[in-house]
Amino acid sequence: MVIAVYPGSFDPVTSGHVDIAERAAALFEQLIVAIYDTPPKPLLFTTEERVALMKKALSHLPNVRVESYSGLTVGFAKKVKAKVVVRGLRMSSDFEREFEMALMNKKLAPDLELICFMTNLEYEFVSSSLLKEVSSLGGCIDGLVPDHVAVALRDKFRR
């Protein structure tokens, strides 16, 4: 069985994240969406909230599970016996960062492969940071996040 890990902070999960997870789930026997517990950036949602939001967003995919983790992604991948790390690429700046991380991960875990999915064009501009900003200012994010995530964002920014 080939297990893949799709890591990220997912603060919050976007429709682009869901799209990547759906496409990866179609290729691997099991996909573990790994929600990083302590990324080096400020978070809006707690780890528990991010896990719950992602679980609901991906509940229609029977071969997907959602877990939180801390430490190195390669360490988590080894723990769950993953052979592949899945990442999404939106633009060329994403490629540069992913390439750098991929080389470090290859040094740390030579048997772990990286597969990058190109975003669908409709999500190319969508980032969690931008969605949080738009939502905090009362803008419409419908269609850019799952419906339950839009509600959670509105609740976080309710004045």
Residue 142 resides in a domain: no
**Domain-located, residue 153:** no
The tokens for 139 are: 């803008």
What is the tens place of the pLDDT at every residue in 73-112?
A: 999 999 999 999 999 998 767 788 888 889 999 999 999 9
Active site residue 83: no
The verdict on residue 16 lying in a domain is: yes
Q: Three-state SS across 35-104?
A: EECCCCCCCCCCHHHHHHHHHHHCCCCCCEEEEEECCCHHHHHHHCCCCEEEEEECCHHHHHHHHHHHHH
Residue 144 within any structural domain of the chain: no
pLDDT at 30 over 70: yes
Whether 136 has a pLDDT exceeding 60, the answer reads yes
* Options 17, 50, 87, 132, the catalytic residue: 17
Q: How many structural domains is the chain composed of?
A: 1
- CATH code: domain of residue 60: 3.40.50.620
Told to judge if 90 belongs to the known catalytic residues of this protein, a careful annotator would answer yes
Q: Is 154 a catalytic residue?
A: no
| pLDDT of 128 higher than 70 | yes
Answer yes or no: 128 catalytic. Answer: yes
Q: Which of 9, 50, 87, 128 is catalytic?
A: 128
Predicted confidence at residue 113, as pLDDT, reads 96
Catalytic annotation, pick one of 55, 65, 78, 90: 90
Establish if 136 belongs to a structural domain. no
Q: Does any domain span residue 60?
A: yes
Q: Residue 27 belongs to what domain range?
A: 3-124
- Domain assignment of residue 31, yes or no: yes
Query: Which candidate in 41, 79, 81, 154 is catalytic?
Result: 41
Q: What pTM was estimated for this model as a whole?
A: 0.94
